[in-house]
Amino acid sequence: MAEKIYKGGEFLVAEVTCDEVFTPEEFTDEQKQIAETTEQFVENEILPHLDAIEAQNFDLVVEGMRKCGDLGLLMIDTPEEYGGLELDKATSMLVGEKIAPAGSFSVAYAAHTGLGTLPLVYYGTEPQKQQYLPKLVSGEWVAAYCLTEPDSGSDAMNARATATLSEDGQHYLLNGTKQFITNGGFAKLFIIFAKIDKEHFSAFLVEKDFAGLVVGAEEKKMGIKGSSTTQIILDNCKVPVENLLGDIGKGHKIAFNVLNVGRFKLAACVTGAAKAALLVGVKYANERKQFGQPISQFGAIQEKVADLTADLFASESLVYRLAGLLDTKLATIDKGIDNYYVEYQKGIEEYAAECAISKVFCSDVLARVVDEVVQIHGGYGFVSEYPAERFYRDERINRIFEGTNEINRLLIPGIILRKSMKGELPLQAEAMKAFESLMTPSFEELDDTLAFAAEKALLQNLKTLFLILAGTAVQKHMTALANEQEILLAAADIAIQIFAIESAVLRAEKACRSASEKKKQWLEAAVKVFAFNATEIAGTAAKKGAFYVEEGDPLLMILSGVRRFAKYDATGLLQAKRLLAHAVCEEEKYLF
């Protein structure tokens, strides 16, 4: 694990080396064994029953959760004193990735182990933890998280659910409706957010059997049909005062800090789902013959396979780089201190921007994968007998879960700019340097003896471009920039691609040291293909942002910078794509 501790957002101004990132090639034997256990569980216990689960036989889901408990798969993030294993975030992400091919079941699993359990781990009192955590980690009880309401989705603080102290002071009476609650139909414990006296946003631990809690009907959904999604209706629901979770009026801390965890775990899950979907597409392409040969031999299909493989390499690299950042930071916190979980949450919150980046980027990759897998199947991709159709429907929710991708994209520059204003990141000084470089012609030549020299030069240029755009936007709009969402979204898209390209490049550089010649060629090809595609996205976002923030001569100057800094020499791109595609289709597996 990397020893240097980078600040959240620092990747935009620092030159990171490959020795300072964690990569999947560094998984321990224990982590690999847990991953294999998870894969076997999915293959043996879930996939044979997937049709019944999709038909909403929730008894199978509950039974599967108990089996997860028996295998230790619900214990990853819970302290040992409550029956957990308290393993690192890399392991937690790895299990999430490996359980993702379980389809709707993985949604129930993720909701339980993440949003349903972690609020109790982080904010629960000792009696609350003793009472509930052993039941959750064993799978005896399933948990659900109740934040969204019919009229408050992204605007969670506008919740209308209320909590009023009873006359005898022994209970809170909760009233309101919670919407789109995953695991709602069979959960035994609900984390419910409501405003005490219509003012103080707070969280409560509510058991299913508490008087006044009513589970609504199952929603008729487009996808993830095998997951339970209901309303939770609160009609003077009696909750003991000792079941207040955390402090009165501090429910927003629970809601938003736990969502950071939800975002990076979702990134791992969608990466696993994308891997599984791509292999289904590749196997079909090898089997399906047209014009006398498998369609996998046609360039039109090969280009899809190559692009998606490169996307997945970047997605995986990004996820585990973030895992390394989190684990390195969290390892510095003394578990013996009284406020351990306060500091722990601060450690995770440090990388809130990277958590949002991972959620957006990886869910977008899954969207591209499932779309192309349907296309590879042709008409059969539109037929429910083939898994491609379910992949397509199931994917869509991931760009809405854990905060919409739009909300997360807005968070990225917002968090980074706030860090700069607090003096935590030297964005202003670096922006000045970026403007200077815009004015100064560059005659630097690449040192071809250095590994991935072109990609590293590209990264420096894209970082310069981000700083120019962000600096111009701040100068023009100052504090009103928060209202200029189109500009913020453009800046976010550049930052996302920078983090993804850098994650892929540094992983490949590190892996090439010990890779076989064949594997080294695959790594270099994946980086070239991804860097080309990502640069096109970043360059388009930068051009759009330039038109948003300036006009006249200043606009022309920034546009000249876009042309100069969003430029990547992808010589050999076609050969790289063909190499990747041939390897994936021949091996019928994810190469990395």
pLDDT in tens, 207-241: 999 999 999 999 999 999 999 999 999 999 999 99
Q: Are 504 and 313 in contact (CB under 8 A)?
A: yes
Residue 531 has what pLDDT?
98
Statement: residue 2 has pLDDT above 60: no
pLDDT in tens, 405-414: 999 999 999 9
Q: What percent of the chain has pLDDT over 90?
A: 94
pLDDT in tens, 508-532: 999 999 999 999 999 999 999 999 9
Q: Are 163 and 204 in contact (CB under 8 A)?
A: yes
Residue 320 has what pLDDT?
98
Contacts of 569 (CB under 8 A, 6+ apart): 454
Mean model confidence pLDDT for the chain: 96
Statement: residue 299 has pLDDT above 60: yes
In whole angstroms, give the CA distance from residue 269 to residue 107.
9
Residue 323 has what pLDDT?
98
Residue from 402, 430, 524, 550 carrying the catalytic annotation: 402
Statement: residue 446 has pLDDT above 80: no
pLDDT in tens, 174-198: 999 999 999 999 999 999 999 999 9
Q: Are 246 and 125 in contact (CB under 8 A)?
A: no
Q: 173 forms bridges with which residues in the sheet?
A: 164, 238
pLDDT in tens, 530-543: 999 999 999 999 99
Tokens of 109: 């699993």
Contacts of 505 (CB under 8 A, 6+ apart): 452, 455, 456, 459, 527, 531
Residue 152: band (very low, low, confident or very high) from pLDDT cuts 50, 70, 90: confident
Residue 65: band (very low, low, confident or very high) from pLDDT cuts 50, 70, 90: very high
User: Quick one: DSSP state of residue 149?
Assistant: B
Residue 139 has what pLDDT?
97
Residue 448: band (very low, low, confident or very high) from pLDDT cuts 50, 70, 90: confident
- What Rg value do the Cα atoms of the chain yield, rounded? 24
Contacts of 92 (CB under 8 A, 6+ apart): 76, 77, 265, 268, 323
pLDDT in tens, 102-124: 999 999 999 999 999 999 999 99
At 174 the three-state DSSP class reads strand
Residue 445 has what pLDDT?
73
Residue showing tokens 């199952």:
218
**Residue of higher predicted confidence among 441 and 548:** 548
pTM of the model: 0.96
Q: Are 116 and 189 in contact (CB under 8 A)?
A: yes
**Residue of higher predicted confidence among 156 and 10:** 10
Residue 157 has what pLDDT?
80
**402 flagged as catalytic:** yes
Tokens of 358: 């991972």
Q: What domains are there in the chain, each with its CATH number?
A: 10-142 (1.10.540.10), 145-245 (2.40.110.10), 251-315+340-405 (1.20.140.10), 426-587 (1.20.140.10)
Residue 444 has what pLDDT?
67
Statement: residue 574 has pLDDT above 60: yes
Contacts of 136 (CB under 8 A, 6+ apart): 74, 78, 112, 116, 117, 120, 142, 143, 189
Residue 1: band (very low, low, confident or very high) from pLDDT cuts 50, 70, 90: very low
Residue 96: band (very low, low, confident or very high) from pLDDT cuts 50, 70, 90: very high
Question: In the predicted model, what is the mean pLDDT of residues 333-352?
Answer: 94
Statement: residue 567 has pLDDT above 50: yes
Q: How far apart, in Å, are the Cα atoms of 374 and each of 51, 281, 311, 313?
A: 19, 8, 17, 21
